[in-house]
Amino acid sequence: MHCWSCKEPVGGPGCVSCGSLQPPPPKPDLFGILGLERRYSLDRKDIDKAWRARTRGTHPDRYAGQTALQRRLALQWTAHLNEARKVLRDPVARAWYLATGSSRPPSKGAPSVSQDFLEEVFELQMGDDEERQRRGALLQQALEDEITAMFTAWEAGEGGLERIPERLSRLKYATNLCKPPE
């Protein structure tokens, strides 16, 4: 990629040669724009540190006295960097993103779960609130552990992510079971 202003090669948000802020990619990889490795097991502190480092050079306040184009590019970078931080800090959104390229399940055609699982959830919903919350918390923990194990295997090159969306759909049901009654 080359700088739009001086035509020198660039590898990040700003041109080293002329200092011009570059346009962000139209649909950036959320890991890439923060300079993070594509993996599930990320520490929140590392995400925040990467976000601060990238934001430091692209923040709109740094471009307040610049051209309208530079200010607009700074706003675009800020929006992309904030979205990346928001998604990657949330383990569920990060899992969806890694598995599907989107940070949330589709509004239509979400991954289906088995009829047996749905019946189990229904039975828990119809039961005692305390028991529902207790068993929901156990189910939630088991699913979180399973998802983490699947990502650990994937990161080691020993598995795929095909089953992750279905497990995340189950996790949503389990999380809802843990909520106190209204």
Cβ-in-10-Å burial (0-12, 13-18, 19+) of 71 comes to: middle
pLDDT in the model for residue 171: 94
Label residue 12 by pLDDT band (50, 70, 90): confident
Q: Select the more confidently predicted residue: 105 or 151.
A: 151
Q: What percent of the chain has pLDDT over 90?
A: 71
Q: Per-residue pLDDT for 5 more than 80?
A: yes
> Are residues 50 and 36 in contact, defined by beta-carbon separation less than 8 angstroms?
yes
Global confidence as pTM:
0.86
pLDDT in the model for residue 165: 94
pLDDT in the model for residue 30: 97
Distance between CA atoms of residues 71 and 62, nearest Å: 9
Helix-strand-coil split of the chain, %, nearest 5: 60, 0, 35
pLDDT in the model for residue 26: 86
pLDDT in the model for residue 15: 87
Average pLDDT, the chain: 92
- Say which residues have a Cβ less than 8 Å from residue 147's Cβ, sequence separation at least 6: 95, 164, 167, 168, 171
Distance between CA atoms of residues 77 and 113, nearest Å: 38
pLDDT per position as a tens digit, 154-178: 999 999 999 999 999 999 999 988 8
pLDDT per position as a tens digit, 85-114: 999 999 999 999 999 999 888 877 767 888
Distance between CA atoms of residues 101 and 141, nearest Å: 24
In this structure, what token pair is assigned to residue 126? 């119809």
- Say which residues have a Cβ less than 8 Å from residue 112's Cβ, sequence separation at least 6: 166, 169
Distance between CA atoms of residues 150 and 4, nearest Å: 42
DSSP state of 111: P
Q: What is the DSSP string of 119-142?
A: HHHHHHHHS-HHHHHHHHHHHHHH
Label residue 75 by pLDDT band (50, 70, 90): very high
pLDDT per position as a tens digit, 25-61: 888 999 999 999 999 999 999 999 999 999 998 999 9
Q: Per-residue pLDDT for 137 more than 80?
A: yes
> Are residues 131 and 142 in contact, defined by beta-carbon separation less than 8 angstroms?
no
pLDDT in the model for residue 49: 97
